[in-house]
């Protein structure tokens, strides 16, 4: 199974939230793939650029070593467009960043 993490999940992991840490560590132990989508990676790093938080930056670098950093290729963009169209037709509004996160 694949898990694509959003910014909140990564933030909770960095902060050491016991529930998130245990769930993600369990997913890794079970051989699941954890992906950090490019949109999430960007959101995390832009926050680091605003604030000097070397301990959190270090923790994020460690997290990145146990996860795969997603790539934005043509199939991801097409999947995102499909999700956008489907959700709009269903009457739902989802932020573009969230659509890109789940498309990876």
Task: Indicate if the alpha-carbon torsion angle 52, 16, 33, 101 is positive or negative.
Answer: negative
The predicted structure's pLDDT at residue 11: 95
Q: Is 27 helix (H, G, I), strand (E, B) or coil?
A: helix
pLDDT for 3 equals: 92
Mean pLDDT, consecutive 10-residue stretches, the chain (104 aa), reads 93 93 91 94 94 93 92 93 96 92 87
Determine if residue 2 is left, alpha or beta; phi over 0 gives left, psi from -120 to 50 gives alpha, anything else beta.
Answer: beta
pLDDT value, residue 17:
94
Dihedral sign of CA atoms 21, 26, 35, 80 in order = negative
Domains of the chain: 2-103 (3.40.50.1010)
Crossing angle between the packed helical segments 96-103 and 38-50, to the nearest 10 degrees: 130
The whole-angstrom separation of Cα 11 and Cα 63 is: 11
CA 9 remoteness from chain centre: 7
- pTM across the whole model: 0.83
């Amino acid at each position: 199974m694949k898990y694509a993490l959003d910014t909140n999940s990564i933030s909770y992991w960095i902060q050491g939230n016991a529930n998130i840490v245990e769930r993600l560590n369990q997913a890794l132990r079970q051989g699941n793939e954890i992906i950090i989508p490019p949109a999430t990676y960007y959101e995390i790093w832009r926050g680091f650029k605003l604030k000097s938080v070397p301990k959190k930056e270090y923790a994020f670098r460690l997290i990145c070593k146990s996860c795969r950093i997603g790539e934005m290729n043509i199939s991801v963009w097409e999947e995102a467009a499909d999700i956008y169209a489907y959700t709009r037709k269903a009457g739902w509004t989802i932020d573009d960043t969230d659509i890109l996160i789940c498309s990876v």
